[in-house]
């Protein structure tokens, strides 16, 4: 079985790690793993191919050249650019939605339209391509408001605006091109209060299997302060994600959306990520969909799952890609076996202007706790083989434990041990859960 993981971040290192782990647990381990472009972390598990995750033609060629059986697509850009469509045309198995189905992420305007038709709870909003109607809408709605670019904006597309003036200025900047094409269409939406939850579901377009819910930490600073980022940490399991809540997420979010897109002739296959706000009355309201695994949620989720082998995580992915999935009819959630907390180490200046090329000191494996996995994200080896930062998020450090507080301790201890000039990180990942554990 020849498997290719497309992408080169922490999420893709975690995907390679999980596929590798599950294959090693299988009696018939015949896995050959590739990553494109991968990173120094995936290099230990896979053959890194020097092909960018956005070079669609080159990826299609690489799949043919290396005779890849199953391609697992990590990031959103190749999905939106139609990598799945291209590989399917060539008769290749792919895990990831077609470009049309991936519009649930690549066009927030489309996602809102699907949700409206399917009756899925989400913030009230309207979509604009011109300033006049947007101003009128802003004038008629209460503060605060959230302004979002409709297109892909790498985590910079949503701005919470305290005042109408802020909202108007943000809409103006986006329509004027501050986020390029992504912001030529904007949404203005109602601000929702509540606690956020990331729920990811594997699906073949009809049936679905949810992964353990996780919580992301989008703000740069401790105590959830500072600018939004791609995510500074994540953990699972999450105390508020009761069986009853997950049942509502299945029945009120995933199932109606999958039915609606299938009815439109664009069935959704792969992993669908629902970014939810759990409202004070318990309603799961959708903030956004992603057409892929979350980053850094995946780095917490996959190590928390039991080792897969047959019937486990990797087997679900391969079976969906090969269109032979037969999930258990009455199981809707894959349970976590242990708690996991992932701390992101970012470069100084992230997210605006991250430093690059800084030398890294990584502890030898024996120096790290056994309950720790260090996933590479933005790292590279210089010509002398020394590890350096490549900007942005540099590592995801996952700690495991019987409880979230224990996993958090392992994660933070290892995060301390990795050193590079300007290391930027939060020591409070999972603070909500630790507070809950203290109160219990």
Cα(150)–Cα(293) distance, integer angstroms: 20
Hey, is 374 helix, strand or coil?
A: strand
Among residue numbers 295 through 314, which ones bind ligand GLY (CB under 6 A)?
A: 295, 297
Q: Minimum CB separation from ligand GLY for residue 295, in Å?
A: 4
C-alpha atoms less than 13 angstroms from C-alpha of 358 in its C-beta half-sphere: 23
Q: What are phi and psi of 279, to 5 degrees?
A: -70, 160
Select from ligand AMP, ligand GLY, none the partner in contact with residue 36, using the beta carbon and a kind-dependent cut-off of 5 to 8 Å.
none
What is the C-alpha to C-alpha distance for residues 335 and 331, in angstroms, rounded to an integer?
Answer: 10
Q: Tokens at residue 105, please?
A: 């992420």
CB of 129 vs ligand AMP, minimal distance in Å: 19
Residue 297 vs 433, nearer CB to ligand GLY: 297
The two three-digit tokens of residue 252, written as one number: 């009120």
Among 158, 175, 241, 301, binds ligand AMP (CB under 6 A): 158
* Contact with ligand GLY (CB under 6 A) among 8, 9, 294, 351: 294
Closest CA to 201 of 235, 152, 252: 252
Residue 189 interacts with ligand AMP (CB under 6 A): yes or no = yes
> Binding of ligand AMP at residue 200 (CB under 6 A)?
no
Chain residue at closest Cβ approach to ligand AMP? 158
Considering the rule CB under 6 A, would residue 105 count as an interface residue with ligand GLY? no
CB 33 to ligand AMP: min, Å:
31
DSSP secondary structure code for residue 250 in this structure: I
Binder to ligand AMP among 14, 179, 192, 373 (CB under 6 A)? 192
Closest CA to 76 of 108, 44, 50: 108
Shortest CA distance to 394 belongs to which of 366, 421, 412? 421
- Residue 290 binds: one of ligand AMP, ligand GLY, none (C-beta under 5 to 8 A by kind): ligand GLY
The Cβ of residue 194 has, within 10 Å, a number of other Cβ atoms equal to: 17
Helix or strand (DSSP H, E) at 13: helix 10-24
Q: Which residues contact 32 (CB under 8 A, 6 or more apart)?
A: 1, 2, 3, 47
290 is a site residue for ligand GLY (CB under 6 A): yes
By CB under 6 A, is residue 166 in contact with ligand AMP? no
Kindly state the smallest distance separating residue 27's Cβ from ligand AMP, in Å.
42
Q: Is 327 in the site for ligand GLY (CB under 6 A)?
A: no
**With contacts defined by CB under 6 A, how many residues of the chain interact with ligand GLY?**
6
What x/- string results for residues 267 through 306 when contact with ligand AMP is judged by CB under 6 A?
--------x-----------xx------------------
User: What is the distance between the alpha carbons of residues 274 and 280, in angstroms, rounded to a whole number?
Assistant: 18
Q: What gap in Å lies between CA 158 and CA 227, rounded to an integer? A: 11
Taking the complex as a whole, the smallest distance from the CB of residue 216 to ligand AMP amounts, in Å, to 7
Output the CA torsion 12→18→24→29 (10° steps).
-70
**Are the C-beta atoms of 358 and 421 separated by less than 8 Å?**
yes
| Tokens found for residue 434 | 């630790």
Q: Is the peptide bond before 351 cis (omega within 30 degrees of 0)?
A: yes
Q: Which of 22, 189, 204, 216 binds ligand GLY (CB under 6 A)?
A: 216
Cα angle 359, 365, 368 (rounded to 5 degrees) comes to 90
**What is the C-alpha to C-alpha distance for residues 222 and 431, in angstroms, rounded to an integer?**
9
> Measured from the CB atom, is 216 or 260 closer to ligand GLY?
216
* Residue 7 CB, nearest approach to ligand GLY (Å): 12
Pick what 426 binds: ligand AMP, ligand GLY, none; C-beta below 5 to 8 Å, kind-dependent: none
Residue 351 interface partner, choices ligand AMP, ligand GLY, none, CB cut-off 5-8 Å depending on type: none
97 belongs to the binding site for ligand GLY (CB under 6 A): no
State phi, psi for 109 to the nearest 5 degrees: -65, -45
**Selected range binding ligand AMP among 62-70, 154-162, 177-185, 293-301, rule: CB under 6 A:** 154-162
12 part of the interface to ligand AMP, by CB under 6 A: no
Does position 161 interact with ligand AMP (CB under 6 A)? The reply is no
Question: Minimum distance from CB of 382 to ligand GLY (Å)?
Answer: 29
Binding interface with ligand GLY (CB under 6 A)? 216, 231, 290, 294-295, 297
Question: For binding to ligand AMP (CB under 6 A), which residues are involved?
Answer: 123, 146, 148, 157-158, 160, 189-192, 196, 218, 228, 275, 287-288
């Amino acid at each position: 079985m020849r498997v290719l993981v497309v992408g080169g971040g922490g999420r893709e290192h975690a995907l390679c790690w999980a596929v590798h782990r599950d294959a090693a647990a299988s009696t018939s381990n015949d896995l050959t793993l590739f990553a494109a472009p991968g990173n120094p972390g995936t290099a230990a598990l896979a053959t890194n191919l020097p092909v960018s995750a956005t070079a669609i033609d080159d990826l299609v060629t690489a799949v043919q050249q290396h005779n890849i059986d199953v391609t697992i697509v990590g990031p959103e850009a190749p999905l939106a650019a139609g990598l799945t469509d291209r590989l399917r045309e060539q008769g290749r198995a792919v895990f990831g939605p077609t470009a049309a189905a991936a519009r649930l992420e690549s066009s927030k305007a489309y996602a809102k339209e699907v949700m409206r038709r399917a009756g899925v709870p989400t913030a009230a909003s309207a979509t604009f391509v011109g300033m006049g109607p947007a101003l009128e809408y802003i004038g008629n709605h209460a503060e605060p408001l959230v302004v979002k670019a409709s297109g892909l904006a790498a985590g910079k597309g949503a701005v919470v605006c305290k005042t109408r003036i802020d909202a108007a200025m943000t809409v103006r900047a986006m329509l004027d091109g501050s986020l390029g094409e992504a912001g030529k269409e904007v949404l203005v939406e109602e601000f929702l209060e509540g606690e956020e939850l990331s729920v990811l579901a594997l699906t073949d377009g009809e049936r679905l299997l949810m992964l353990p819910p996780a919580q992301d930490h989008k703000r740069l600073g401790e105590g959830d302060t500072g600018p939004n980022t791609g995510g500074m940490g994540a953990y699972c399991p999450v105390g508020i994600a009761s069986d009853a809540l997950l049942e509502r997420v299945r029945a009120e979010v995933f199932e109606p959306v999958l039915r609606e897109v299938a009815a439109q002739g664009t069935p959704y296959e792969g992993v669908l990520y629902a970014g939810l706000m759990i409202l004070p009355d318990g309603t799961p309201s959708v903030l956004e969909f992603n057409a892929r695994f979350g980053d850094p949620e995946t780095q917490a989720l996959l190590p928390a799952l039991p080792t897969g082998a047959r019937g486990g995580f990797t087997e679900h992915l391969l079976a969906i890609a090969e269109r032979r999935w037969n999930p258990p009819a009455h199981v809707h959630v894959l349970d976590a076996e242990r708690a996991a907390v992932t701390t992101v180490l970012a470069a100084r200046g992230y997210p605006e202007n991250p430093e690059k090329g800084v030398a890294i000191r990584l502890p030898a494996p024996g120096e790290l706790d056994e309950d720790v996995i260090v996933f590479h994200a933005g790292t590279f080896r210089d010509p002398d083989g020394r590890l350096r930062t490549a900007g942005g998020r540099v590592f995801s450090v996952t700690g495991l434990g019987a409880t979230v507080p224990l996993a958090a301790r392992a994660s933070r201890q290892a995060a301390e041990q990795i050193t590079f000039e300007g290391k930027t990180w939060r020591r409070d990942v999972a603070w909500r859960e630790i507070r809950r554990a203290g109160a219990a």
